[in-house]
Amino acid sequence: MKTTVELITLKDEIIVSGLGYKKCRETNSVKLNSEWDFYGKWNLLDGVKNVKFPETDYAVRINSDFYIGKSVKSSQNQDEIYDSCVIPTGEYLKITWNSESFDKLVMEDMGGDKAVVNAFFEENKLEKLLGSDGIYIEVYPKNTIGKEEPPITEFPEMYTLVTINSK
């Protein structure tokens, strides 16, 4: 497994359309016992319109809500079941890692090598921004997670974006 950590600046906002936890609970449009149930609902995203290429799936914690969805050019004209959020521009910590299979990538190796990540935080005097002010984003590019043929990486790969604070 390879883990890389870097500070990046997101210059363009990202619009994500898909399922919003609060909306699903309020409208009862998707049966959910907890946010974890969302991870079994990726197939419900097949109807998302205006999807950007290359296709990328997201799991986003923002504004005290949780979303799973796809990066889109526009959130307009989406079906009633869908909700949208915007990932704002700004500075993020990008943690990229890979694994020998997609299941191992997301079930065992999620977040990469913790020692590498913690060393980066210490070396750069940073800390994660958690709570209602923080944004946590899981990014699943279809061409790197081994779900698209041919994959462009040797091993399935994904990354997270995390808002940060300087110590």
pLDDT tens digits, 39-69: 889 999 999 999 998 899 999 999 889 999 9
| The one-letter amino acid at 100 | E
Domain that holds residue 123: 3-166
Domain CATH code at residue 115 = 3.20.80.10
Question: Tokens representing 11?
Answer: 């210059």
Residue 146: predicted pLDDT: 66
Given a cut of 80, whether residue 166 has pLDDT beyond it is no
Evaluated on CA atoms 18, 21, 22, 27, the torsion sign reads positive
Domain count, the chain: 1
Confidence label for 155 from pLDDT (cuts 50, 70 and 90) = confident
Residue with tokens 């984003």: 137
Region 12-27: what's the mean pLDDT? 95
Report if pTM > 0.75. yes
